[in-house]
Structures are given as structure tokens and as C-alpha cells.
Amino acid sequence: MINIPYYWLNFISDNNLSNKSFEIPDDFDLSGLGADFKVFTCSDIDDETSNYYPGINVVKSGYIAVACCLCGSGDPYFINVNDGESGKLYRVYHDDNSIDIVVNNYKDILRFSEPEN
């Protein structure tokens, strides 16, 4: 089982973010691609990080999968425990394990939550 940092657990709990969708526009995404994702539940974090690529490859470097792509690319979103609280949100590409920074502080995603249906 993945040891999910307390600060991430508090962040998703305090803001009711499990299964919540976000859309970050291209001009705010540091990679320039834009991001459309859904935040994982705790069980999804463990499953995606432990059992699927690229999580299996990058967990040893401190990355933990925290969200799935809603665009169909299959490229999950990660935090890195080495960054600590208020660290970056990353996109890790499943086909080559390259990594982009999406935002410098994962808390910035709160500005881009999609309305509830």
C-alpha cells in the first residue's frame, strides 16, 4: 500500500476533491498543453501508483498518482513526496515516462474546478 502524504489527504478531504474534475487552460498549464483531469480517491491513488505504468516506474523517485486524464491520453497526474506540501502537480507520460510540470503548487488547481452536474 502506498503511503499517501498527510498533506495531500488533508487537501482532498478539506476541499472535497475525490472524483472532482478540473480543467486547466493551456495558458496556465506550465507545459502549455492544458489539463483535464479527475482527482483520484485514496484507493485509486494506491492502485494507479502500484499496479499501472507509469506509476510503477516513477514511484521509486517519489511520485504518487493523484489524478487521471479525462482527455483519453492515459497520462496520469502526480505529486512528488520530495516536494512536500504545496508542491508541483506533474503530468507523467505513460509511453516514455517523460515528465511535465503542470502547476508549481498543486493547490492552484482549486481555481479550475468544473461545475458539478
What whole-number percentage of the chain has pLDDT above 70? 98
pTM for this entry: 0.94
pLDDT digits (tens, 9 = 90+) for 43-75: 999 999 999 999 999 999 999 999 999 988 889
27: in domain: yes
Going by pLDDT thresholds of 50, 70 and 90, the confidence category of residue 87 is: very high
94: in domain: yes
| Domain range for 56 | 6-112
Q: What local confidence, expressed as pLDDT, does residue 95 receive?
A: 83
1: in domain: no
- Dihedral angle computed from the Cα positions of residues 66, 70, 72 and 77, in that order, rounded to the nearest 10 degrees: -20
Number of domains within the chain: 1
| Best mean pLDDT range from 9-23, 64-78, 89-103 | 9-23
**Secondary structure percentages of the chain, helix, strand, coil, to 5:** 30, 25, 45
117: in domain: no
